[in-house]
Amino acid sequence: MIAFKRLVRSGLAPQRATRDAAGILPVRAVRHCEPVTSASAFGWYVFPPIDFSIVFDGADFLWTYENAGSWFPLRTAQYPGFSSEFDALAPPESKGFAPPFLAVTEDPGILQIWTGLIVSTAPGWSVLLRAPANVPRSPGYEQLEGIIETDRWFGPLFTNIRVNRPDIPINFVPHRPFLQVQPLRREYYDEDFLKLMRVDEGLSALTPAEWGLYYDSIVRPNLNPNRKLGEYAVAARKRRALERQNDDE
């Protein structure tokens, strides 16, 4: 369904996102909070290929990387040594077109970061790029979410960040995921699909059947003083296991 091509092979390869949000969630949440763990595990983690840092002074960027020994002015920058490796292996018509690692955009404080990857997906599938779900985020920047039609567009997988705190170095380390890639059917973000919504006002909008569902979800569990924690999680996991079993058959 999805293929990751690592053009820059340092650092960690993409990995399945985990139910414990890369080890961040407490054990209680992992055991009992199915909505949080399902969201955490939805997709794949992407890691920075190298250890690097940036700083934004309100007008310009500087950057450095592990063992560089200095800070450098930044407009565009390649992964160290990647440009020559790219030109040595690329066909003649593509030489000189290695994707930049970092690129400052025209918008103040916005930086484009290449993951070192190219991603392709099965027909009809796109990818949603976002910050890792339920993983604490740096207060120094925020990630701009984006959807790429990777079944049609074959190119470098970039993400954009907006720096929120000028004059403070922001560090990216290769052992910590900084991006979560999630699969998305193209029709699910089509305007004709998304406009199929309504808003029903007031308690009178609930039908007898919906009141019955509310009772089963909220009232009945609270009437049982001996109910176990995580009943929703257990039911959801059993339901998914049964659905997988039926699909296999």
Between CA 159 and CA 27 the distance in angstroms is 31
**Cα 110 to the center of its chain, rounded Å:** 18
Strand residue runs (E) in the chain = 2-6, 15-16, 44-46, 52-56, 61-65, 72-74, 76-77, 102-104, 110-121, 125-130, 141-144, 146-148, 156-163, 170-172, 179-185
Residue 101's nearest CA partner among 81, 79, 73, 118 is 79
Q: Full-prediction pTM beyond 0.85?
A: yes
Question: For each of the chain's 249 residues, which pLDDT tens digit applies?
Answer: 999 999 998 889 999 999 999 998 888 888 888 889 999 999 999 999 999 999 999 999 999 999 998 999 999 999 999 999 999 999 999 999 999 999 999 999 999 999 999 999 999 999 999 999 999 988 999 999 999 999 999 999 999 999 999 999 999 999 999 999 999 999 999 999 999 999 999 999 999 999 999 999 889 888 888 777 666 666 677 777 777 777 776
Pairing state between β 179-185 and 44-46: antiparallel
Q: Does domain 2-189 have CATH number 2.70.40.10?
A: yes
Q: Where exactly are the structural domains of the chain?
A: 2-189, 198-248
